[in-house]
Structure 1
Amino acid sequence: MRYSREHKLETHARIVKKASVRLREKGAHGIGVADLMKDAGLTHGGFYAHFDSRDALVIEAFTHAMDRGTEHWRKLAEQTPPEKRLATIVDSYLSTLHRDDPGHGCAIPTLGAEIARESPRTRKAFAAKLEQMIDMLAAQVPELPRKAARKQAMAAIATMMGTLVLARIAGSGEFSDEILAAGREAVLARAAPAKRVAKKAAVKKAATPARH
């Protein structure tokens, strides 16, 4: 049976979406092509009608997950006053809901270590999406120059993702909750001094007489 181009695109998207969830749940090497295709309701033999290789599917699945994460942050930012955007994103990320649902959460804590051992092509694709995520978070720190905001965003993301990994290792009890709280506090405490410095600079600039 010959399928329309639209049907093939829909099937392709379904495979990527399903694989994205499963890879975050099981890891890049924790599930095979046959299982991924079965999840999508297809046979193993149909795989190469959609992808050149397993790496190609992994890259698309990673990309899908990273794009969803960045889009989630963007929506949170749009719904929040500028001065609360960073805190809102951090609170959402370092939450028990996110901790307990890795299959629909950020791809980096679940797959980052494995990506580092993947092919250069896969690492390059992942790095590009990571940079987009950093730039998106940096945009939520308008008080700082772009370079400084980007540096702070890198530190925040590193802390957030490391915190989530540790919280998942600790399970879902009080100890895990403590780790999440400590991570939130660390990220926001780092952001607070930068805001104070930016505010002082703005006040100083406003108080300086203009030279003619």
Structure 2
Amino acid sequence: MRYSKEHKQETHARIVKKASVRLRERGAHGIGVADLMKEAGLTHGGFYAHFDSREALVIEAFAYAMDRSTERWRKIAEETQPEKRLTTVVDSYLSPLHRDDPGHGCAVPALGAEIARESAKTRKAFAAKLEAMIDVMADQILDVPRKSARKQAVAALATMMGTLVLSRIAGNGEFSDEILATGREAVVGRAAAAKKAVAKTKAN
């Protein structure tokens, strides 16, 4: 049976979406192609009608997951007053809800260590998405020069992602909650201090 182009595109998108969840839950090597295809309601043999290789699926699945994160941050920014955007993004990221649902969360804490061991092609694709995340984060850091905002965004993301990893290691009890709270305070406090320093420099 021949399927329409639209049907193939819908099927392709469904595979990528399913794979992005399972990869974040189980890791880049925690689930095989056969299992991914089965979850998408397809046979293993149909895989190569959609992807040239497992690496191609992994790259698309990672990209899909990271795009969802940046879109979520943009939506938060659109719905929040400018001066509260950074805090709101940080609070939503370093939350028990995000900690406890890696399959639908940020791909970097879930898969970053594994990506560092993947091929140059995979790392390059991942790095491009990471840079896009940094740019979106920098957009939420107001009243400082763009170069400074970007540096703060890099530091903020590194702190946020590291905090989330540690909180997941700690489980979901009081210790884990303490880690999340400390991470939130570190990011927001650093941003406030940097903003104050810029204002002081301008005043002088």
- Gaps of at least 5 residues in structure 1 are 205-212
Correspondence 1:45-64 to 2 at 5 A: 45-64=45-64
Partner of 2:111: 111
Partner of 1:167: 167
State the distance in 1 between where 2:131 and 2:84 align: 22
Residue 194 of structure 1, CA deviation: 1.1
State the distance in 2 between where 1:198 and 1:148 align: 10
State the distance in 1 between where 2:198 and 2:148 align: 11
Residue 203 of structure 1, CA deviation: 4.3
The sequence identity of aligned pairs, in percent, is: 78
> TM-score by structure 1 length?
0.94
**For each residue in 1:134-165, what CA deviation from the matched residue of structure 2 results, as whole angstroms up to 9, or x when unmatched?**
01100111211111100000000000000000
Partner of 1:193: 193
Partner of 1:207: none
State the distance in 2 between where 1:78 and 1:200 align: 29
Partner of 2:95: 95
Partner of 2:12: 12
Correspondence 1:25-104 to 2 at 5 A: 25-104=25-104
Q: Larger radius of gyration, structure 1 or 2? A: 1
Amino acid at match of 1:146: R
Find the residue that maps to 2:97 and give its secondary structure: helix
**For each residue in 1:77-123, what CA deviation from the matched residue of structure 2 results, as whole angstroms up to 9, or x when unmatched?**
11111111100000000000000000000000000000000010000
Residue 18 of structure 1, CA deviation: 0.3
State the distance in 2 between where 1:85 and 1:200 align: 22
Amino acid at match of 2:190: R
Correspondence 1:197-208 to 2 at 5 A: 197-204=197-204
Amino acid at match of 1:174: E
Partner of 1:208: none
Residue 197 of structure 1, CA deviation: 2.0
- Gaps of at least 5 residues in structure 2 are none
State the distance in 1 between where 2:131 and 2:113 align: 17
Amino acid at match of 2:95: S
Residue 198 of structure 1, CA deviation: 2.6
> TM-score by structure 2 length?
0.98
State the distance in 2 between where 1:14 and 1:201 align: 52
Amino acid at match of 1:44: H
Find the residue that maps to 1:112 and give its secondary structure: helix
Amino acid at match of 2:104: H
State the distance in 2 between where 1:131 and 1:197 align: 26
How many residue pairs get aligned? The number is 204
Partner of 1:210: none
